[in-house]
Chains A and B, each alone.
Chain A
Amino acid sequence: MAVLSPPSAAGRPATGRRRSDGGRVGRRRLAGWGFVAPFLVVFALVFLAPIAYSIYLSLYRDQLIGGNHFVGLDNYTQALKDHEFWSGLGRVGLFLIVQVPIMLGIALLVALALDSGRLYGRNFFRISIFLPYAVPAVVATLMWGFMYGKRFGLVASINQHLHTSIPDPLSPSWVLASIGNIVTWEFVGYNMLIFYAALRVVPESLYEAAEIDGAGQWRVIRSIKIPAIRGALVIATIFSVIGSFQLFNEPSILKSLAPNAITTYFTPNLYTYSLSFSGQQHNYAATVAIVMGLVTMVVAYLVQLRGMRKEA
C-alpha cells in the first residue's frame, strides 16, 4: 500500500528517529490514536458494522414462506453461478476499460495544457472545466436525460436541423456510452484538477536540468511531468475504478427514460439495490455486495501494483 500511505513511503514519520525515548513515544502513540479515534469510531459505526452485518446476512436466507434460516455458503455459490450478476460485472468492466482511460486521458491533457502556461485565459478554462463537478449526479442525469430525448430532445433537434443521424442515445446498444458521457462530463474537471495540482508542485530543479539537456516539450512531459505525478495518476485511477464498479445514480435515474435498455441488473450496484428493495432478498443482495467489494479491492490492488511497477 505504498502509494496509499505516502507519508511513510516518503520516510517522513515524525518520531521515527527517536525510538530510544520509550516513555514519551508511548505517550505520543496514545496521543496518535487519540487523534485518529473519533474518525475510527464513526467509521466503525457507518462502515464496519454494516459490513459485518452484511457478512452475517449473507450466511442466511429469509423467505416469504418459511422464514429465516442458516444456509452457509449457499448464497455465495448461487452468486458465482448467477448470470445476471456476471453480466452486470462485465458491463461495468467494459465501462471501466473504455470510460476511465478516456476520462483520465482528457483530464491529463487539459491539466498539461493548463500547466504549460501556453493557454490564453487559463483561469477561466480551469474553473469552467471544473464546474460540472459541482452539479449533483441527480441534476446532471436529469439534464442529460432531457437532452438525450429521442423525439423532442436536443439530439432530435440536432438531427432535424443539421440532417445528421445521431443514433438514439437511449437505445440498448448506446445507453452505456451515454452513461459514460454523463460520468465523463461530471468528473473530467475533478480529475483534471488533481493532476494539475500535482503538476504545479513538480520541483523546478527538474525542469532546469531538462533545459540544460535541451529536452523538448514532449520529452519534458514524458520524462519529467508524467513520472512526477504518477502518485496522483494512480490515486485517480483507483478512485475511478471504485466509482465505475459502483455505478448506480446515473443508470438508476435514466432507467425511467430507457426502461428496456437499462435492466435491473445493469450494474452490480443496481442489481443489489433491486434485489434488496424490489425483491426483499436482503441476504442475497448482501452476498452480491460482498463479492463485488472483493472484486473491486482486487482490481484496485492490481492497478496499484501496476502503477508501482512502472514507477520502479
Chain B
Amino acid sequence: MATDTAVQGTAPTPRTRERVRPRISRSSRRHSPGKPRRSVLLTVLTAIVVLYSLVPLAWLVINACKTQPKLLDSFGLWFSGKFALWDNIRETFTYNDHIFVRWLLNTLLYVILGAGGATFLAVLGGYGLAKFDFRGRRAVFAVVIGAVAVPGAALAVPTFLMFSKMGLTNTPWAVIIPSLISPFGLYLMWVFAAEAIPDELLEAARVDGSGELRTFFRISLPLLAPGIVTVLLFTMVATWNNYFLPLIMIKDPNWYPLTIGLNSWNAQASTVGGQPVFNLVITGSLLTIVPLIAAFLMLQRYWQSGLAAGSVKE
C-alpha cells in the first residue's frame, strides 16, 4: 500500500506522498467517459456548507471591531460605528492588570505539557500495541474505549477529591495530568504504527542487536512523524479548548486557561460591580482561536497525511 512510500519519513516525506497520490487518483478518474473535471453545481452546493462554517466566524471578526455600545445596537453581520478592533485588542490585553496575557501563557503551558505529553504517551502506547504481540492487547483497548463512555461530569468530583488529597488541585498539574490521556490519539497511533513501520525493518534492527528503545527512537519515531503531528494537533485542540476540567480544578484566576477566563469575563456582566465587557469577551474569543487556526494552516500537510493512514481500514 501507498503508505510504504513513507519509509524514509523525515519531515518532507509526507508532503511528497500528499502530492503523488491525488495525482494518480485524479488521473484515473479523468478517464471516466463524459465526466467534466470540475462542476459548478457541486462547487456551489459545497459552498453553502462553507458559508455555514464561516458566517459565525465572520460575525466574530466583525463584532470584534465594534465598541461595547455598538455591539448591542447594530446589525450583527455588518460593521458599525468606529473601527475599534485595535482598541479592543489593546484593552483585552491590558484589562485587569494584563490578566489575559497570563491566561494565554497558562494555556500555552497546559498545551505544551498536556498535549505534548498526551502525544508522547499515545505514540509509545500505540507503537507498543501495534508492534508487539502480547496477551491483553485487545483488552487494553476495550477498557480504554469503555472508560471513555463514562460521562466526564461524573468523574469530575471523584477526580477532584482524589487530586485534592494529593495536593494537586489549584495547581497546573490538576489540568495537565488528566490531559495526558487521549484515547483517540492512542487509536490513531496504533493504526498508524501498524501501517507505517514494516515489521521487516524492526526485525532487521533486532538482528543487529539494537535494543527496543533504541530501535524505537532511531528507526520507528521518524517513520511515525506524520501520525505524531496529527495526534499532536488533535490533543492541542482538546487541551486548548478544555473547559470542564479547569473549571472545577482551578480556583485561582492566575492559573485559569483562556476558556475559563473568557467565561468569567462573560459572567462578570452578572456579578458584583457588574461591569459588562462583552466587547472584550468577543475580542478575547477571537484572539483565543487565532493561534489554533494558524497552527492548523501551517501544519495542514502533515496532519492530513497522518490522518489518511490512520483511517485506512477495511
Contact = CB atoms under 8 A, between A and B. Distances in A.
Contact of B42 (A119, A154, A193, A286): A119
B128 A35 contact: yes
A237 B245 CA distance: 25
Contacts of A200: 21-22, 25, 308
A104 to B, nearest CB: 13
A147 B59 contact: yes
B113 interface: no
Interface in A97-156: 106, 110, 113-114, 116-121, 124-125, 127-140, 142-144, 146-147, 152-154
Nearest to B263: A138
Contacts of B47: 125
B53 A131 contact: yes
A144 B56 CA distance: 7
Nearest to A247: B151
Interface string A1-32: 10111111110111110000000110011011
Nearest to B52: A185
Interface in A258-289: 268-270, 272-273, 276-277, 282, 285-286, 288-289
B149 interface: yes
Contacts of B1: 201, 203
Interface in B243-294: 243-244, 258-259, 262-263, 266, 270, 281-282, 285, 288-289, 292-293
B131 interface: yes
B10 to A, nearest CB: 21
B59 to A, nearest CB: 6
B311 A46 contact: no
Interface in A191-214: 193-195, 197-198, 200-201, 203-204, 207-208, 211
Given A4-B145, A138-B259, A143-B60, A248 B300 contact: no
A35 to B, nearest CB: 3
Chief secondary structure at chain B's binding surface? helix
A29 B180 CA distance: 24
Interface in A177-230: 185, 188-189, 193-195, 197-198, 200-201, 203-204, 207-208, 211, 217, 227-230
Given A118-B38, A297-B149, A35 B127 contact: yes
A138 B243 contact: yes
B313 interface: yes
Interface string B53-83: 1101101100100000000110111000000
Nearest to B296: A134
A245 B122 contact: no
Given A5-B141, A14-B202, A293 B25 contact: no
A39 B36 CA distance: 50
Contact of B53 (A132, A248, A285): A132
Nearest to B178: A46
Given A29-B132, A136-B240, A211-B31, A127 B152 contact: no
A78 interface: no
Given A198-B311, A201-B309, A135 B289 contact: yes
Contacts of B240: 136
B22 A7 contact: no
Interface in B96-139: 121-122, 124-125, 127-135, 137-138
18 contacts: A1-B141, A32-B133, A33-B134, A38-B124, A39-B122, A51-B155, A144-B56, A161-B75, A193-B307, A194-B307, A227-B314, A231-B313, A239-B184, A248-B244, A256-B270, A272-B154, A292-B150, A293-B150
Interface of A: 1, 3-10, 12-16, 24-25, 28-29, 31-36, 38-40, 42-43, 45-51, 53-54, 57, 106, 110, 113-114, 116-121, 124-125, 127-140, 142-144, 146-147, 152-154, 157, 161, 185, 188-189, 193-195, 197-198, 200-201, 203-204, 207-208, 211, 217, 227-232, 235, 238-239, 242, 245-246, 248-249, 253, 256, 268-270, 272-273, 276-277, 282, 285-286, 288-290, 292-293, 296-297, 300
Interface of B: 1-3, 21-22, 24-26, 28-29, 31-32, 35-40, 42-43, 45-47, 49-50, 52-54, 56-57, 59-60, 63, 72-73, 75-77, 121-122, 124-125, 127-135, 137-138, 140-159, 161-162, 177-178, 180-181, 184, 186-187, 190-191, 194, 199, 202, 206, 212, 216, 237, 240-241, 243-244, 258-259, 262-263, 266, 270, 281-282, 285, 288-289, 292-293, 296-297, 300, 304, 307-314
